[in-house]
């Protein structure tokens, strides 16, 4: 059975690699999605700033147009002065000129105000655009790296599954099925754990499951060392295999047997 257990150990190495790589592969699409969302968010923010500016620009253009008409009107009216026949008409004309001038001045003030806002917003847009462009570039690079990594992982995992297939063909079916059952329910991709010999001062020696750090009952540890059949850890359910320090176990056996 020890031979079969050694094969399971090799299989576990492959399965652990597959488990870790698949875990990594699982995180990458999520990661890319989050990055893409951040890009859209930043692009939207830029678009919002641009649209706010274009609204201001069109407000300004409307006022420019009105002001232009106002100035033309002022010119026309001022030109009518020669046609005035009396003081009343003259006063009326002056009042009209004043009114138009006041209107034009107010428009000019508004236009100056809007210009200032356009300038401030444009500065904000430029600064934001510069910052966001760098960030978006960074996100895009990361997305490309992630995509490349996903392709690599797919290939590596495929190859590991091929390796696995070859390994499993040499393992006794009943042993492999037991292993597979444990692996499928394992939360960490492990179906094999070493049982290591431990001896501390003033306490009897014992076997430790390296899968979950549980002290194994002496009779179970002895069975593991004998390796005549498959033993599992009562705590983590892993198949126990003799650890690297099991060579000096003949002594342990006799001690624990007492
Ligand atoms: Zn255990």
Q: Does some domain include residue 19? A: yes
Q: Does some domain include residue 251? A: yes
* Cα(211) to centroid(ligand 1), Å: 5
Q: Does some domain include residue 183? A: no
Q: Does some domain include residue 184? A: no
**Where is the domain boundary, 123, 138, 169?**
169
- Same domain (yes/no): 160, 217: no
* Cα(215) to centroid(ligand 1), Å: 8
- Same domain (yes/no): 155, 203: no
Q: What is the pTM of this model?
A: 0.75
We report the CATH number of the domain holding residue 96 as: 1.10.287.1490
- Same domain (yes/no): 89, 45: yes
pLDDT at res. 68: 97
* Cα(2) to centroid(ligand 1), Å: 19
- Same domain (yes/no): 53, 165: yes
* Cα(213) to centroid(ligand 1), Å: 6
pLDDT at res. 2: 86
Contact 65, 158 (CB under 8 A): no
pLDDT at res. 80: 83
* Cα(188) to centroid(ligand 1), Å: 12
- Same domain (yes/no): 69, 128: yes
pLDDT at res. 258: 36
Phi, psi of 209 (to 5 degrees): -80, 120
**Tens-of-pLDDT digits for all 258 residues of the chain?**
889 999 999 999 999 999 999 999 999 999 999 999 999 999 999 999 999 999 999 999 999 999 999 999 999 998 888 888 899 999 999 999 999 999 999 999 999 999 999 999 999 999 999 999 999 999 999 999 999 999 999 999 999 999 999 999 999 999 999 999 999 999 999 999 999 999 888 888 899 999 999 999 999 999 999 999 999 999 999 999 998 864 444 444 444 433
Residue 152 CA, distance from chain mean position: 19
* Cα(241) to centroid(ligand 1), Å: 11
- Same domain (yes/no): 64, 148: yes
- Same domain (yes/no): 133, 242: no
* Cα(193) to centroid(ligand 1), Å: 7
239 lies in which domain range?
191-257
pLDDT at res. 208: 96
Residue written as token pair 């890319």: 32
Q: pLDDT tens across 99-148, in order?
A: 999 999 999 999 999 999 999 999 999 999 999 999 999 999 999 999 99
pLDDT at res. 136: 98
* Cα(253) to centroid(ligand 1), Å: 20
- Same domain (yes/no): 57, 116: yes
């Amino acid at each position: 059975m020890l031979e079969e257990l050694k094969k399971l150990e090799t299989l576990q190495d492959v399965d652990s690699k597959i488990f870790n790589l698949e875990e990594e592969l699982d995180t990458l699409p999520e990661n890319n999605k989050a990055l893409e969302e951040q890009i859209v968010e930043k692009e939207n923010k830029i678009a919002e700033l641009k649209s706010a500016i274009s609204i201001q620009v069109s407000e300004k253009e409307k006022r420019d147009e009105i002001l232009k008409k106002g100035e033309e009107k002022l010119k026309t009216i001022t030109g009518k002065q020669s046609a005035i026949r009396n003081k009343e008409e003259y006063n009326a004309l002056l009042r009209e000129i004043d009114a138009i001038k006041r209107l034009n001045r107010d428009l000019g003030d508004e236009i100056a105000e809007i210009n200032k806002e356009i300038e401030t917003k444009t500065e904000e847009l430029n600064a934001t655009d510069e910052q966001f462009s760098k960030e978006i570039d960074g996100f895009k690079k990361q997305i490309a790296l992630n995509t490349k990594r996903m392709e690599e992982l797919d290939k590596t995992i495929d190859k590991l599954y091929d390796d696995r297939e070859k390994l499993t063909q040499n393992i006794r079916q009943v042993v492999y099925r037991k292993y597979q059952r444990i692996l499928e329910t394992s939360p960490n991709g492990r179906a094999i754990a070493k049982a290591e010999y431990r001896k501390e001062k003033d306490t009897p020696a014992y076997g430790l499951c390296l899968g979950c750090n549980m002290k194994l009952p002496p009779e179970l540890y002895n069975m593991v060392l004998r390796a005549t059949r498959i033993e599992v850890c009562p705590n983590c359910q892993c198949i126990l295999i003799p650890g690297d320090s099991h060579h000096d176990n003949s002594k342990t056996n006799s001690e624990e047997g007492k």
